[in-house]
Amino acid sequence: MNKYHVIIPAAGHGSRFRGGSGRFKQYADLGGVPVIKRSVDIFAGQANIEFVYVVVSPEDQYIESLGLEINGGKVRVLKVGGVTRAETVRNALIKIEKDVNPKDWVLVHDAARPLITVELIQKLINSLQNEEVGGLLAIPVSDTLKLASPENYVSNTVSRERLWAAQTPQMFRFELLLRALNTCDLNGITDESGAIEAIGLSSRLVESSPDNIKITFSADISRAELILQGRLA
């Protein structure tokens, strides 16, 4: 039986995030818990997840203080982060290659997307487990989209028909994802599906929830706290 492994790239600096602590967004406080810990714990608590690999830069001096690796040995920190997300994921795949089966599944999840739920994880797994390639969580675009000029004037309105906003996790076969990241030009690749597309393959879209937000700006922390409060109500 093919196993499920999770990679959480966390080597980024979050230049658009301005939190009060001065730490990167993945370490920002969210309801008394660091953002990245919420992302890690939800996967570590799933019986069908083999390992959770948190990938940080070699210079990261904070990750050990979170105690992520005490979760029964299921969470492992890899200090092989690269300059880009794609490079970080590729480095992690190379690092764990000897420990996984080529047909095993890899779920890549944003460190700064802390509101993922058990239900969404299992929906993704159940939807893709018989696929040859894989896919990702995403939501259909509902807003009217405008293409801007360099001066931020509206150039034209873009049809939202068949447009989806990508989320994570994104789930692909180990050997396929590694081949894609080893083959394509990593510059401009912003998610795993993009790497898969670069080698001529298609990813399946699995409908997600608008609550599965990514912390990008400091205001997103307040929004995430409201969502958490709503779940507890």
Counts of helices then strands in the chain (DSSP H, E): 6, 11
Categorize the per-residue pLDDT at 25 as very low, low, confident or very high, splitting at 50, 70 and 90: confident
Planar angle of CA 5, 163, 221, nearest 5 degrees: 60
pLDDT for 17: 46
Alpha-carbon gap, residue 94 to 85, rounded angstroms: 14
Alpha-carbon gap, residue 171 to 144, rounded angstroms: 29
- Give the three-state DSSP class for 128: helix
Sign of the alpha-carbon torsion through 44, 14, 138, 181: negative
CATH number, domain containing residue 176: 3.90.550.10
Chain centroid to CA 36: 11
Contacts of 126 (CB under 8 A, 6+ apart): none
Q: What is the CA radius of gyration of the chain?
A: 18
Q: What is the pLDDT of residues 59-89, one digit of tens each?
A: 998 898 888 876 668 999 999 999 999 999 9
Residue matched to tokens 């993009």: 194
Mean pLDDT across the stretch 105-126?
97
Question: Is the preceding omega at residue 102 within 30 degrees of 0, hence cis?
Answer: no
Domain assignment of residue 120, given as a range: 4-232
Portion of the chain with pLDDT greater than 90, in percent: 82
Categorize the per-residue pLDDT at 13 as very low, low, confident or very high, splitting at 50, 70 and 90: low
pLDDT for 15: 47
208 closest CA partner among 73, 117, 126, 87: 117
Categorize the per-residue pLDDT at 37 as very low, low, confident or very high, splitting at 50, 70 and 90: very high
Mean pLDDT across the stretch 98-114?
97
Q: How many domains does the chain have?
A: 1
pLDDT for 72: 67
**Mean of per-residue pLDDT scores for the chain:** 92
CB burial readout 47-82, b (16+ within 10 A) else e: eebebbbbbbbeebeebeebebbeeeebbbbbebbb
Q: What is the pLDDT of residues 156-213, one digit of tens each?
A: 999 999 999 999 999 999 999 999 999 999 988 999 999 999 999 999 999 999 999 9
Instruction: Compute φ and ψ for 79, nearest 5 degrees.
Output: -95, 65
Residue matched to tokens 């999770």: 6
Contacts of 102 (CB under 8 A, 6+ apart): 173, 174, 175
